[in-house]
Amino acid sequence: MHVASRRSLTTVGLLRRERLPLAQVRELVELGAGERLLIAAQTPSGAVVTTTHALWLPRGATLHRIGWEHVDEVTWSRDTSTLVVREAAPLGARPRTWRLPMADDRDLLLVIKERVRATVITSARVPVGGSLGVTVVARRPPGQDRLTWAVSVDPGVDVDDPAVRSAVDDAIRGLRVDLGQ
């Protein structure tokens, strides 16, 4: 689906910052109960849309929804003018990383980072050998009472190692006790 957009005068290289009017964005995403649109921007591969509950990223002709509790990390690469989004993955699974060339949009990046941080309830760093480790994070999806658990794994950590899995399980049990669950 093609979305018309307003272009600002801000340019970075060949990329122009294109803020999408929220009225046009409503056609792109299906909002859940109590969910509101926040900010959207156009990239060469499609729209990036933020709502109170999720981040929507372009995937072909459609948008892919990632609940804020499933966004592991978001960074901005100045060198390549690229928004980099890494999804959280279950222990042992490879996280999906999205690389979206786009103009620098600090407002969009700030909204994304704030929404991700708002889901974090507590976390614990678990060393698993030398300077390597994993980070276990308890997160609360927007508008819900339940917790989800995410594990960020340092490169080089063998997630199939029973000692690593045991350390993660122990950390989750300890955090549950701390949270009174």
pLDDT, tens digit (0-9, with 9 covering 90-100), for 33-72:
999 999 999 889 889 999 999 999 999 889 999 999 999 9
pLDDT tens profile 11-30 = 333 344 566 777 778 888 98
Question: Residue 142 and residue 67: Cα distance in Å, rounded?
Answer: 8
Q: Quote the pLDDT of residue 12.
A: 35
Instruction: Let me know if 13 is exposed, middle or buried by CB neighbors in 10 A (0-12, 13-18, 19+).
Output: exposed
Comparing CA positions, the residue from 48, 50, 97 lying closest to residue 75 is 97
> Which residue has better confidence, 5 or 144?
144
Domains of the chain by start residue, with CATH: 6-118 (2.30.29.30), 120-178 (no CATH)
Element (H, E) at 112: helix 106-119
* Phi–psi pair at 178, nearest 5 degrees: -60, -35
User: For residue 130, is pLDDT > 90?
Assistant: no
Checking if the pLDDT of 138 tops 60, the result is yes
Residues 6+ apart with CB under 8 A from 22: 37, 40
The torsion angles phi and psi of 158, rounded to 5 degrees, stand at -85, 100
- How far, in Å, CA of 114 to CA of 67, rounded? 13
pTM score of the predicted model: 0.81
Average pLDDT, the chain: 85
